[in-house]
Structure 1
Amino acid sequence: MNSPPNTYIEHTALKPDLRDSDIDQLIAEAFEFQFLGICIPPFWVKKASRELQRSEIQLVTVIGFPLGYQRTESKIKEIELAIADGADELDLVMNVSAFKSGMNWPKIEMAKCAKIAHEHSKMLKVIVETALLTKDELVEVSKIVSDSGADFIKTSSGFASRGANLDDIRIMKANISSNVGIKASGGIKTLSDLMKMVETGAERIGTSSGLKIMREYQNG
């Protein structure tokens, strides 16, 4: 890991009982440690956008969260609202249900969402929920995400039975094109966890333990 951990971290708060004070705290911590970004629910994007004006911190929100089996039209509307509210990056949950049913629709949906994001100069990441996929399915999904025009593939929503692991990252890395990044998310709680993910190929880290990780880093 050649850069300090804050340059990889998307400081995340996606629990269902969030309060406005939690968002205020997340933003304050992002400014204190200059995290790469914050990842928050769509409801709070407009508030956070006002607070992050003129900063380099990326404002990330989720689309189709956490299960991903909304209709594409609903996801597109979510994207449009999130962009209007000030989101910089969009983490789209893949329709695992459609993928498991053998449909080509997930790739079509990703491509449609990527097109809208890019038309507004925004970034699209696709959450594939690795806990629900076999290794062979993850190979296939990685290729689908890579071909769809998405900017990143992301391991997990944080709402499945497990988050990211190193095997997931290795499989993704071997099956995406060089212009697609990897975001590891779910269960990354320590500096050691972060370093292993980055060294294996992740370029972004989604974690609610950003503060703890930075204190570990600062304390040597």
Structure 2
Amino acid sequence: MEMNPIAGYIDHTLLKPDATSEAIRKLCEEALEHRFYGVCVNSQWVSYCKEILGDSGVKISAVVGFPLGANHSGVKAFEAQLAIANGADEIDMVLPIGLVLEGNYDEVERDIRHVVEGTFRKNVIKVILETGFLNDEQKIEACRAAERAGAHFVKTSTGFGPGKATIEDVRLMRDTVSEEMSVKASGGIKDLETALRMIEAGASRLGTSSGVAIVSGVKGIGEY
């Protein structure tokens, strides 16, 4: 199969609580077939994904502190360490949203740094802002805190909170962080047109459960 160039942007995602091993296997097989950048799963499934994906080059992202971001920082760091030990290449962590809302950015930075340093700065760390809860000033300050803490990506949404990824948010996040940091758009990306607009706005990774539909050029039905 000839690779669709957009496949290299896609983290093929399944984060539903009712996901079964059969569904996770299908996710991995689709990632292999379409040569997506990676899969994104709850940490429970990391070792299973590693069994299927092996050394194929398809990356495994595990979510941490998902979807609320309210776990203790030490718990987030431990979850990240365990996921990496089981085969995860990248970590998508949810920052402490309540602390962002009250403007406690020093503690937000500390929370993120706990995960970054807990993984010995060897793995890609993406920080989920959950932008649907935040105003533009809070998004900017959260991005800055993530970069100061040593994270590699800022990411729009969990797909479980209010709202979804928007062109405006992706552009704002891209304009806020340095060239060394990247932006992942996630939440509501279900078709090729939307995916291309996110990339044009500055996203270098897309989190979606509609990856197959996107590379096929048809409208997807995935929720994430």
Q: What is the TM-score normalised by the length of structure 1?
A: 0.94
Q: What amino acid is the match of 1:43?
A: Q
Distance 1:127 1:199 in 2: 20
Please state if 1:113 is matched with 2:109. no
2:130 is matched with 129
Unaligned stretches of 5+ residues in structure 2: 219-224
Mapping 1:92-103, distance limit 5 Å: 92-103=93-104
Distance 1:101 1:211 in 2: 39
Question: Does structure 2 retain, via aligned residues, the 8 Å contact 1:107–1:145?
Answer: yes
2:16 is matched with 15
1:82 is matched with 83
2:43 is matched with 42
Tell me by how many angstroms 1:101 deviates. 2.5
CA RMSD of aligned residues (A): 1.2
SS at match of 2:161: coil
Distance 1:17 1:101 in 2: 33
Distance 2:145 2:123 in 1: 20
Question: Does structure 1 retain, via aligned residues, the 8 Å contact 2:77–2:119?
Answer: no
Distance 1:67 1:112 in 2: 17
Tell me by how many angstroms 1:144 deviates. 1.3
Tell me by how many angstroms 1:50 deviates. 1.4
Distance 2:103 2:191 in 1: 37
Question: Does structure 1 retain, via aligned residues, the 8 Å contact 2:131–2:157?
Answer: yes
**Runs of 4+ displaced beyond 6 Å:** none
Aligned positions, number: 214
Unaligned stretches of 5+ residues in structure 1: none
Distance 1:25 1:75 in 2: 28
Question: Does structure 2 retain, via aligned residues, the 8 Å contact 1:117–1:123?
Answer: no
Question: Does structure 1 retain, via aligned residues, the 8 Å contact 2:43–2:63?
Answer: yes
SS at match of 1:196: helix
SS at match of 1:60: strand
